[in-house]
Structure 1
């Protein structure tokens, strides 16, 4: 069937292809293709927009034609047909020092100027990623100053968007949904599986995105777009990076080979991280906060608690990771492209650091607590067709499969039994997205369908590390197998009814099926044999953008989102914190969010831009952890400890509100940027604060750029979060905080980059200049101390 589909698409592309002139547009500095550039033939109505490969197709040009090539992030270029022909119909654009607007893709899954989008969207392009040299994709988001990231361990990162996190925010890579049936409600660390070094662009869409993305997109959507193969182009990039705080050693290689019809892109990354060293300058009132005064080593067949000679080195936090990406593209015609993507990520054991620092009766609680090698393999096949028909001007078909394995391995202090629980997830997905322009391109219709199917297998065993003997233990999820299915259809409409006003609206219907089978009654005698969900949800959105004056843009948006229970919600038994155990609740229902958002973008002259966004969300039937009865008991034994029973329940209602502000000021080669983010939220039934609401945070960054040199000085800030503002689940983690809560902190960072000719770039950084000891809210590990970073990049 796949062969027939490929053949049909190739023949269709050849049939619909109208030959013309292809113009390729690239970035003058890094030679990467420029997507979204408008190529216009002056004096005529002929124009085209470059695709992801930087190519625009025009009808046959004449010798006397003049062209204008423009992009929001680049300086406009005027050229002629004869000049283009002399340069092989390739042009290079010069990037602006500061980008006050951009093209975004995550709002409608198609390219759209940000000024037409009512929701708040931020973008990080390849140039910014390369400059700041983040170690992981979690650090990439932190560098924006607009996303708060929690870390339970060095090998982790759980983004919080407007008081939502984990399985209440969406993670998308190359159009494929990464959220799967076991994405949990606690802090989620899956983002590190994505290789920041292979990314072309990252976007964060704030607020519910359920119309376009379905279940889980309640707080926002993080879309990662990796680099794509380029036709008629051969190039390579290699770099090495060193960071002192965790003795990071990273090597990376990119290779692109492209002919007229075929293109191949390969990306390889290996990173090794030693134990992380935290800052030595502690908060004045908490001189011992975060110190690692002891650790556990095994010697002579027993576990020994040892004194740490340097309490700022967070012993047993290091790990290693490998990433591979392979992409193949075939251009059947200028209007039809077929693509194959492969992403693979694997790691060594990743220590769960926040568990390794727990103690009981002045003795370590655990000798080991590791996430076993995390494996993620994603393969996808795509068809992109830009041949206009009565149904669509262009469409994309995306089929994907993901294979994920997760292991949790823990062993208590001086206990020879290591408990291992392993989950295997297979996730299949199909997306068909179409776009149609109506009435002289003033109106656009975006619509499509989606089908997702997940299976989950869960196993548990105990291994005696002295004798090698093994025995079964309880599984994390129902042992009889689990299935999660989502079927959906959506439509979104955008109408620019005047030059200054744009209206958008969207509607989606999603139906969710879930089945979990409990077959083993040895460990827990559940009062049920299966748990099932069969539910549907309508979601809608409405947006309005107006420019009442030339320098002012006002935005208003209303949107709804939902999250249906997944296997993690409905079928999991685990310990959430010391002394508690979470059990399945088969009566769990979906939760819904209703979001209102107002935004102002104000240009103050030609140099200053201010953006302010206020939002308010109401949750209905919110899923939160609460005390629960299991077989009539409020406490049961679990993993050798008598624990209070909890379960996810629908509390009824909650609210989240907040404000974000962004300021940009450009003066010749200088650019000043500032971000400030404030969020608050409460469960309105229990009057308890919500868990994933971060404290006030932001940053202020001054950047200088002159020719091939760029440098920046940044101040990053995080306010206090007092214990009175903690949720009950956070209050149960006293070992992570001071007696008053999570302290405020501020650090200074410096980055520098110089591009030598066209073959070499050197990046240097000095982060946390004053060696402050700090720990972001909810994190289980303290942040890096003074950190020297050096990377050398070569291009060939």
Structure 2
């Protein structure tokens, strides 16, 4: 900065360190001759602390001088779960399950230095959820499986959803929200797994999700977005996959997913009702092949992603510009050779045909990597 320039005029740097601890414990126990009981628990603790500091020199991110903004907090979740797998007949298997989650956010703090009303602390919040699930598999014929399930799920906001606020190079601020509530989902699924000829199988699945308190990013104005809970939303669609395996080590595969989504109720912003959910494409799919022979393997896949919206009113329809999420199809490859038990070599390439598209920022072009792996 020029002599006499205030630090506030020299730019700032944002940093969000995060710490997390997670543990899981699971047991399986046969019961009688036709049941398997699985049960266990899980625990996760997270902490994040976002700090924005002014810079003495905007070219040197270590030349910080004073605090501009800080937001921090902690979350912890503990859960217990159980599932009973019951083989009713040789052709019919039922699954009865349930999960209990206890989620808490606490020690929330924010300081917008120099702004009236700051710093301030956020009250702690605790949410609990009981999530039952029932599913069934039926095999009417050899090579045919029919699937069906219904259940509830619980997804708490991430530590970043709650406590991370940052500003992009375009000047758009993305704000966390310490008052977010967890999402609650009721899901339904029907499916078919069918073996065809030798080495070939197909899977078809229909799904429907009814979502309450959906966590999404609300566009307040052209330069400010914040996370909030939507009253309700839904998504439904289908998944289809095909696989063909050959005796000489070749596997061909393809999969396709279609997802139609809609905001059903949003009192915080009624104009978004009837709009598609953000960051959720209509179509996505993969098409590829894998070959393994002895110590050598080769893998190639084409990945397709439809354009999606990041604006909650679905106004961001432009493509090929900074901040857009473009439709794209790219091809990746990987070749590997296992030299011996402790050494392997590989060469891989991403986007090998150098397709141009934007994934908010301009996506990397063709990239090649060489890897040497040693195991001791």
TM-score band w.r.t. shorter chain: 0.7 to 0.9
Change in Cα spacing, 1:746 to 1:587, as seen in structure 2 (3 Å) is closer
Aligned to 1:394: none
1:366-424 CA deviation, whole Å, 9 max, x = no partner?
A: xxxxxxxxxxxxxxxxxxxxxxxxxxxxxxxxxxxxxxxxxxxxxxxxx9724233334
1:566 deviates by 5.0
Change (3 A) 1:729 1:605: same
Q: Secondary structure in 2 aligned to 1:523?
A: coil
Task: Tell me if structure 1 keeps the 8 A contact 2:330–2:355.
Answer: no
Q: In the alignment, is residue 692 of structure 1 matched against residue 279 of structure 2?
A: yes
For residues 742 and 781 of structure 1, what CA distance do their matches in structure 2 show?
A: 9
The structure that is helix-richer by fraction is 1
What residue is the counterpart of 2:289 in the other structure?
702
State the match for 2:229 in structure 1.
650
Please tell me whether the aligned partners of residues 53 and 68 of structure 2 are also in contact (alpha carbons under 8 angstroms).
Answer: yes
Return the alpha-carbon distance in structure 2 between the equivalents of residues 730 and 737 of structure 1: 20
8 A Cα contact 2:295 2:338, kept in partner: yes
Partner Cα distance (1:694, 1:623) in 2: 17
Q: How many Å apart are 1:458 and its aligned residue?
A: 4.2
1:578, distance to aligned residue in structure 2 (A): 4.3
Q: 1:581 to 1:659 in 2, by over 3 A?
A: same
Work out whether 1:502 is the aligned partner of 2:89: no
Contact 1:512 1:536 in 2 (8 A): yes
1:559-608 Cα distance to aligned partner (Å, 9 max, x none): 22122345544445444784554556565332211111122111113221
Give the structure 1 partner of residue 365 of structure 2: 784
Match of 2:206 in 1: 614
Question: Is residue 514–residue 566 contact of structure 1 (8 Å, CA) maintained in 2?
Answer: no
Question: Which moves more between the two structures, 419-428 or 530-539?
Answer: 419-428
Q: Secondary structure at the match of 2:361?
A: coil
C-alpha spacing 1:459/1:697, structure 2 compared with 1 (3 Å): closer
Corresponding residue of 1:681 = 261
Q: 2:302 aligns with which of 716, 727, 736?
A: 716
8 Å CA contact 2:192–2:204 kept in 1: the answer is yes
| Cα distance, 1:519 vs structure 2 | 6.7
1:66-119 CA-to-partner distances (Å, cap 9, x unmatched) read xxxxxxxxxxxxxxxxxxxxxxxxxxxxxxxxxxxxxxxxxxxxxxxxxxxxxx
Residue 526 to residue 603, structure 1, CA distance change in 2 (3 Å):
farther
- The answer to whether 1:421 aligns with 2:7 is no
Distance in 1, matches of 2:80 and 2:135, equals: 20
Higher-RCO chain (CA-CA 8 Å, sequence separation at least 6): 1
1:548 is paired with a residue whose SS is: coil
Aligned to 1:598: 190
Name the counterpart of 2:269.
none
Rate the CA distance shift 1:503–1:526 in 2: closer, same or farther, 3 A.
farther
Say if 1:703 and 1:471 are closer, same or farther in 2 by CA, change over 3 A. closer
* Alpha-carbon offset, residue 456 of structure 1: 3.8
Per the alignment, residue 474 of structure 1 pairs with: 69
- The 1:751/1:573 distance shift into structure 2, 3 A limit, reads closer
Q: State how 1:102-501 maps to structure 2 within 5 Å.
A: 417-440=10-33, 442-465=34-57, 468=63, 470-475=65-70, 477-478=71-72, 482-501=73-92
Say if 1:674 and 1:522 are closer, same or farther in 2 by CA, change over 3 A: closer
Q: TM-score, normalised by structure 2?
A: 0.78
> CA deviation digits over 1:268-302, x for unaligned, max 9?
xxxxxxxxxxxxxxxxxxxxxxxxxxxxxxxxx89
Give the distance between the partners of 1:472 and 1:503, measured in 2 at CA: 57
Q: Does structure 1 conserve the Cα–Cα contact (< 8 Å) formed by 2:301 and 2:333?
A: no
- Cα distance in 1 for partners of 2:227, 2:180 equals 7
Q: How many residue pairs end up in the alignment?
A: 359
Aligned partners of 1:615 and 1:658 also within 8 Å:
yes
1:737-792 CA distance string (max 9 Å, x none)? 359x75554445554445557676554456655x342336x44232432x555445
Shift of 1:616: 1.4
Q: Offset of 1:719 from its aligned partner?
A: 5.4
By how many angstroms is 1:489 displaced? 2.2
Q: Is the 8 A contact 2:183 2:214 kept in 1?
A: yes
> Are the structure 2 counterparts of residues 732 and 688 from structure 1 closer, same or farther at C-alpha, using a change threshold of 3 Å?
closer
1:485 CA displacement: 2.6
The 2-side partners of 1:756 and 1:483 are apart by 46
Q: 1:450: how far off?
A: 3.3
Report the Cα offset of residue 510 of structure 1.
Answer: 1.6
Residue 362 of structure 1 corresponds to which residue in structure 2? none
1:448 Cα deviation from its structure 2 partner: 2.3
Question: Could you say which structure has the larger radius of gyration?
Answer: 1
TM-score, normalising length: structure 1: 0.40
1:737 counterpart = 2:320:
yes
How far did residue 552 of structure 1 move? 0.5
Q: Name the structure with the higher strand share.
A: 2
* Superposition RMSD in Å: 3.7
Alignment gaps of 5+ in structure 1: 1-300, 303-414, 629-634, 636-642
Unaligned 5+ residue runs, structure 2?
Answer: 3-7, 266-271
Work out whether residues 285 and 305 of structure 2, in 8 Å CA contact, stay in contact via their aligned partners in 1. no
